[in-house]
Structure 1
């Protein structure tokens, strides 16, 4: 029997770059890795993703020896394709906010429909005023509830369906050309499988029928219900406004977590592997990161990048009628309740800039101050906020006087504010009855000594810090290994790849941290 390693590849097509990580299928050990940048901006021609993928693959000498591959990608990005398989317009990414108005419209429309239906059921007296408009706040709240129970999450500008509505309203000529709608990871998987634009509509539609996705990424579109694993074309129709028939639009086939999406074009991967390179279902970046961390029920990751994400693995769907927690699916067949802040590492970045320090110097200043920073509190909504929902808010320092306005207290207030925003997310997730037994701290912001050491006190529990690594790419590679295993054994389990924990910080000074958090809450409102 051959002793050669079986290799698998995980692709992370993120907002900033494309990473291609080749791993040992048995152990997850890194074999080689390539990285290529994506262009800046909130709308991007998908061709840039393809070019970056090719560049990253070239850096590592190709993927001819890879037996399986999966793609993890930025969620929510809208890719529109015509009947030839051509990209209709630049993809609108998750961070493109132009469809905020459309999100509100869709919420209100569903709220009005629900209340109107109830009104018909409770037939009004003949002399009553049936034309009295419903209270706008009640309509909005009901709309959020209807969306949450229909697709697991309420609508904000990030969600794909709002972007579809924006195109239907503002670019109807483009909307009328829509033959298929997919997401960034769907499109890249499709291209790696050898599909792309065709010379005729007949061949184009045939190629589009091979589009695939997974539960995790589909659950972020706003027109897929992760609890039933069904598309909601009735909701998609509300976004398309009759420009095209929602029943005829091609949506990617939803592949199970360990399912096989096809085989890679030998020119892309697996040329030297018998049977070719198996393609896994792929997934959204947050789900892939949790899969790369081998998270299970009761595990919660807090990822501190530009934004902050608290993601929990749960065996059952979570429905938050306030809309604060997104009820996404994960990459293992379970669910991924997720709360997100717009501001995370940018908080400490702003503090370093304000005080003119390095990150290490900033942490040392924070350690020299007392918990609560002698009453100085930062409300860190620099670009508005999503959790809590404060889209037009700005940041502010409160509680300052001549005695407590010191560099040390300001640094401490910035670090505490960052952690308190993530405590907000954690509390929202916990309020839904989601078990929280282990907390993993990842992302660039986790490199701060102040964040790591003060985290357990404010977050209220022990914090584990995994070794810094590319967990989206690792999760994609692990899924690829799983798909490869199921190709010969349908009952195969996901490989148990070890996750290296660098440090574990015990839950100390929790009562002190609780006071700091309550001080923060009193100021942020």
Structure 2
């Protein structure tokens, strides 16, 4: 394929839980030029090579990347990729939705709280531990975060822990592969020092302080200390200090390496630049052009409420994560493990398709005639209840109708996102506009009921791949050399309005406790 003479092209990659998407984009306008997609395997632990294969398939579907001048990767957050000295993958990556490290998360909180209480700190050990974690890195550990998975490996697979030479995240690893790096033979240099990341994804590890732009290797040492002591040994500290961690690039800073021309930029003079990339939620915010006062609610595999803040946000309870965004600001975020899959569960139980579920749900009344779903099917992250299960309550012989069950599932999903939104609001982040995105937002019932549950009008951006758009926008930003990201139009398809029904959320809050 020859380089376009009419426009400059960039590529945005979304390596998500379910698939890899490649969006070749006009750098000036954000217009879609070509697109490709390939599926990832199901599961909570995945061989990263599957991501590489899917990326290659998606790039080929998108017509190749020979004419692309810059590329960026947005990726699922928190996944733990461990590499040995030769760049080999030590074990399958534990993904964000792997909750097996919940005990290690609790241990890390307790260890942090052991030291004597200082002025202004809670007296309770666990509350004090959460408080100190939030002060250190913006968030308190939960099973989703990378550091808890490192601790799990140290305790359960010490032979693998002993081989760790580098720790990186899914988007870091894929960017490194796009630059042409990978496993090498014994004695050769794998160029682990070429790994790079950005503030947004690094801030979801529990060992990076985004407010001060620094890794906390002492916290990695704490995680690698497999016994119950709170203070890492000298040996564990030395190991943590020797690990290669990806260089954290600034939002508009090009990586010091370019894409392998066999992968991208073959026909581009000087080669294809690689942008820092970022975590999927931060990339979606960039793709949506979010500013202060905006909150996005994304209904995908997980459910995510995220807002933009000019300053760090600290939640001493640890419920809201004080992540960074992709622009130099911050992205206070609350995430549920259970997102649009709640609708899939309803379809399975009721034996209907999506349209049938919509019809049933909209035929019921607000509050589903008294039935309330608390949708913690796979445990939950917000609130932090990794061992929880879903519950249906309020059932009587009079309300046992399919329409009410359908309504309860839709309302339960929206109420769980209202929980997230209210937590963010409670920390002082203004919420003036709601942007509802993700696969679950395609549901007519979800769109119709959202204003009544969320308590305000809801804006519906046109259905699109906002993580990939954000990645492409970042690539265009790096290519431009400007201080600000290019302005790309985001089309709001509709604004949903409706009467608020606070009693529905109140019943939900009572049911979940």
Q: With structure 2 as the length reference, what TM-score do the two structures score?
A: 0.93
8 Å Cα contact 1:78/1:163 also seen in 2 = yes
Aligned partner (choices 503, 506, 511) of residue 518 of structure 1: 506
Tell me which of 253, 267, 272 is aligned to 1:259. 253
3-state SS, counterpart of residue 203 of structure 1: coil
Output the CA distance in 2 between the equivalents of 1:522 and 1:5: 56
Deviation at 1:118, TM superposition (A): 4.3
CA-to-aligned-CA distance 1:451-478 (integer Å, 9 cap, x gap): 1111111101110111111111111111
Correspondence for 1:126: none
2:277 matched to 1:282? yes
In the aligned structure 1, how far is the partner of 2:472 from the partner of 2:15?
A: 13
Counterparts of 1:476 and 1:79 in 2: how far apart (Å)? 21
Aligned residue for 2:328?
333
2: CA distance between counterparts of 1:31 and 1:112?
Answer: 55
1:265 & 1:355 partners in 2: Cα distance? 50
Deviation at 1:218, TM superposition (A): 0.3
The 1:412–1:213 alpha-carbon spacing in structure 2 relative to 1, beyond 3 Å, is same
- 2:436 is aligned to 441
Over residues 405-439 of structure 1, what are the superposed CA-to-partner deviations in whole Å (9 max), with x where a residue is unaligned?
Answer: 22222222222211111111110010000111110
Output one character per residue of 1:85-119: Cα deviation in whole Å (capped at 9) or x when no partner.
22222222112222111111111100112xx3649
* Count of matched residue positions in the alignment of Structure 1 and Structure 2: 499
Give the equivalent residue in structure 1 for 2:135.
Answer: 149
User: Is the CA contact (8 Å cut-off) linking 1:83 and 1:201 kept in structure 2?
Assistant: no
What does residue range 137-176 of structure 1 map to in structure 2 within 5 Å? Answer: 138-176=124-162
1:413 and 2:403 aligned: no
1:190 maps onto 2:176 in alignment: yes
Counterpart selection for 1:245 from 227, 239, 244: 239
Structure 1 residues 21 and 380: alpha-carbon distance in aligned structure 2, compared to 1, 3 A threshold: same
Aligned twin of 2:462:
467
> Following the alignment from structure 2 to structure 1, what is the Cα–Cα distance between the partners of residues 389 and 296?
27
**What value does the CA root-mean-square deviation take over the aligned residues?**
2.0
Q: Does residue 494 in structure 1 map to residue 488 in structure 2? A: no
Q: Is the deviation greater in 83-92 or in 142-151? A: 83-92
Q: CA deviation at 1:358?
A: 2.4
* SS at structure 1 position matched to 2:417: helix
- Which residue in 1 is equivalent to 2:8? 6
- Shift of residue 395, structure 1, vs aligned partner: 2.2
- SS at the partner of 1:54? helix
Structure-2 change in CA distance of 1:117 and 1:521 (3 Å):
closer
- Post-superposition CA distance 1:343-388 (Å, at most 9, x none): 2222222222222222222222222222122322222222222222
Structure 2 residue 9 is matched with structure 1 residue 19 = no
Aligned match of 2:52:
50
Corresponding residue for residue 211 of structure 1: 195
Contact 2:142–2:384 (Cα < 8 Å) also in 1: no
Structure showing greater radius of gyration is: 1
Q: How big is the shift at 1:249? A: 0.9
Pair 1:509 & 2:499 matched: yes
* Structure 2 Cα separation of the partners of residues 189 and 356 of structure 1: 42
Structure 1 segment 32-43 matched on structure 2, within 5 A: 32-43=34-45
Deviation of the 1:154 alpha carbon: 0.9
Structure-1 separation of matches of 2:508 and 2:435: 23
Report the TM-score when normalising by structure 1.
Answer: 0.91
Match of 1:362 in 2: 357
Secondary structure at the aligned position of 2:475 is classed as helix
2:139 and 2:314 in contact (8 A); partners too:
yes
Unaligned runs of 5+ in 1: 122-133
**SS in structure 1 at match of 2:240:** coil
Q: 1:453 to 1:30 in 2, by over 3 A?
A: same
What is the distance in 1 between the residues matched to 2:360 and 2:48?
Answer: 44
Match of 2:229 in 1: none
Residues 210-256 of structure 1 deviation map (CA, whole Å, 9 limit, x = unaligned): 11100000001110011111101111111122456211111111000
Partner of 2:232: none
Structure 1 partner of 2:231: none
- Equivalent-residue separation in structure 2 for 1:390 and 1:101 (angstroms): 12
